[in-house]
Amino acid sequence: MKTIRLANPVLLLYLLYTYIGPAALNFLTGYESEIYLNPSNGVFSWLYAVLLLGIVGAFAFDFDFLTIGPRSLPRVLPSAWNLPVPTLIVFLSIVLGVGITGAALGLARWRYSGEALSSSLDLTTLLYVLAPNFVEMLLFILIFFRYVARPISIRVILVLVVACLSLTATGIGPMVSVLLACVAFLAPDTLRRWLFRVSDGASVAVFEGITVRKLLFAAVTVILGAGAYVIGDAIKRDVAPLDVIAEMEAGGKGAFAEYLIGRLSVHWYSLVVAVHEFVDVDVGGQFDHLMAPLGNAWFRFSTLTGGWMPSERPLNGSLGRLNYNLINRYPLSEREGSSPGLIASFLIAFPVWLAPFALTAYLAVYNGIQKRLRQRMAGRLSWVGESVLLEFTSIFFDSPVDFLLIFDPMVITAIGWMALGYGSREAAPDARCDAEDVERLRVKVI
């Protein structure tokens, strides 16, 4: 009997982090959100939800019938890139200048401001919105790929990456990239040993042989992580970081725990509400929801081309915006949105009978992209590496149907990920490296 291989652990981690974990936390703690709806559903509705969860889980494994193209790609070490250091430094310097200008103009809150981005469209704003996506992809290359460059050059690049991402961060998520860039600068060898397996079938033992250096590294990581959370939340809420800390202290551990459960459960609530609305109650209207991002794409095209075809900006022009109105008890803002997550995205936009097929088709395409990305990495990922990969590529899970917006930073970012995966994939001159060379290449950093 042929062994079924775990081909894409990111999907299992996504299910655990986005649906299974939050569902368990809500059930065990009895938490009731004051912000989001959490309706009850019938047995059939839950069985349908389990079907969709099962489809996502199935794509984590190497089943023949779920594979488009070659079943597996040859596992060889890719040839090392000659990193264009001068070009990257010039690029990051330009982004840094844009970041400083944007921060001075208060653009860090463009996602949450009352004024739409299209109302104040200029070159600085466009660059400020788009640049962080390319900087994060550069950070991804520095962390996961194999390349040739002088260590001092890489450290200069990482300092610029930290500065650029800090100045263009728009919330907690982007600050995680700042955290990773700081860790890569402080302890690149340790980071790579945590991200990659040291041998087939085994990951590095993180706590084996605890030393003062490892404890110091862990402490610095925790401090940077806490700082990333506080600063990111301050940016989102437009308050000072000290105000965030003061609120956390005033609320106590229980209030902070409830806040975390609510934050982690947004996609879970989106699934529960979508199943209730479109399976249990069957309110319909999915076709209109599917057309919403296309209507917004037309408006954005008209705006970018000088308004030669006048078009009004739709009130609900994305699935994120539609989902915000669905799951919020009191949807007061006309600008905010809540990404529905992978499964709810297809439930909101497709009829019940078609959603499983649309989800399957999308996952087949996504699997092809991530398979190519894995082929280009410096080694096989550990579970820590898989978690970091999930963070970097979360754009594929937040709201897939909103890729129909076309003229959107998320679309440009997705194209960038495809270019990384489907670019040149030349193998090293001697792909049959002995075990010692493979080990050396996997843990060698910058």
DSSP line for 289-301: HHHHHHHHHHHHH
Distance CA 407, CA 241 (A): 33
Distance CA 279, CA 422 (A): 38
Distance CA 35, CA 429 (A): 57
Domain extents in the chain:
9-443
pLDDT digits (tens, 9 = 90+) for 374-415: 888 888 898 889 999 999 999 999 999 999 988 888 888 889
pLDDT digits (tens, 9 = 90+) for 206-250: 444 555 656 666 676 667 666 666 666 666 666 666 776 777 667
Residue 439 has φ and ψ, to the nearest 5°, of: -60, -40
Encode the chain (446 residues) as per-residue pLDDT tens digits: 455 678 889 999 999 999 999 999 999 988 888 888 888 888 999 999 999 999 999 998 876 545 544 444 444 445 566 788 899 999 999 999 888 887 777 665 545 555 555 555 566 777 777 888 889 999 999 999 888 888 888 999 999 999 988 888 776 677 788 888 888 888 888 788 888 876 544 444 444 455 565 666 667 666 766 666 666 666 666 666 677 677 766 766 677 777 788 888 999 999 999 999 998 888 888 888 999 998 888 888 887 777 666 667 777 888 998 999 999 988 777 767 889 999 999 999 999 999 999 999 999 999 989 988 888 888 889 888 999 999 999 999 999 999 998 888 888 888 988 888 876 554 333 333 333 443 444 444 43
Distance CA 325, CA 338 (A): 9
pLDDT digits (tens, 9 = 90+) for 97-109: 888 887 777 665 5
Q: Which two tokens stand for residue 293?
A: 């991002």
